[in-house]
Amino acid sequence: MPDLSGKVAWVTGSSTGIGAACALALAREGCRVAVHYNRSGEEARRVVQKIEGSGGEALLVRGDVSDAAEVGRMAAEVEDRFGGLDFLVNNAGGLLERRPFSEMTEELWERVMEVNLKSVFLVSRAALPLMRRRGGGRIVNVTSIAARTGGGPGSSAYASAKGGVSTLTRAMAKELVSENILVNGVAPGVIATPFHDRYTPPEVRERLRRGIPIGREGTPEEVAGVVVFLLSPAADYLVGEIVEVNGGQLMD
């Protein structure tokens, strides 16, 4: 993998799962990493400890990524500590709960949109001044296979929000490329994370696994590897791409 020594990366939702794997992978490549969490403080501190224990540098930031004031405060903390920002990974999000469309409430719909879609807008907007002062940067938005398939049972709001993330990724890419800020996305399939432990019943999970040509769930580290690639010089000519990481479950 390329040497990203000295680069500053902010990974939202990096206390567990894909976000934690991204934070650790970027630290291994030499990045100074802002590890973000909202509620999972103990897990986030363990990520920071792993980074620091391996000789890396990490900053722990806490806040609600769907709240503009908190996002602004976190961006200021990143800039105060590291002096700027090179990479942003918009990973924070979640299903919140599975609920059939016919039983969806306006409150749940709006909260899913805030956590998964509004957060990408708010954090990216806050990151832009920090990247501009560096002369450019890179953003990777984590969307989902659900953005194209409509998602599994009870995930209409989540799938819709992730569809918005995919579209926003392309819109951002078009607007920001002239400022040397390259925006791409990664769309995980069925990945072995606390997400599925929490929201996907074992029988549903097994049915999904059987539909994956490679024959297994993916790992957070496999998604993180793609994220690191998109942030590296090897991806200098990629703009507005969304890389599907799903073991062949969905093919173009």
- Read off the tokens for 243: 């890389």
H-helix or E-strand containing 184? strand 181-188
158 is catalytic: yes
* Helix/strand/coil for 176: helix
- Separation of alpha carbons 211 and 227, rounded Å: 24
Determine how many CB atoms are found less than 10 A away from the CB of residue 22.
32
- Cβ 186 vs Cβ 143: under 8 Å: yes
Q: Which one-letter DSSP state was computed for residue 86?
A: S
Which one of 37, 158, 199, 237 is the catalytic residue?
158
Q: Assess contact for 132 and 179: CB atoms under 8 A.
A: yes
How far is it, in rounded angstroms, from Cα 99 to Cα 249? 24
Catalytic site positions: 158
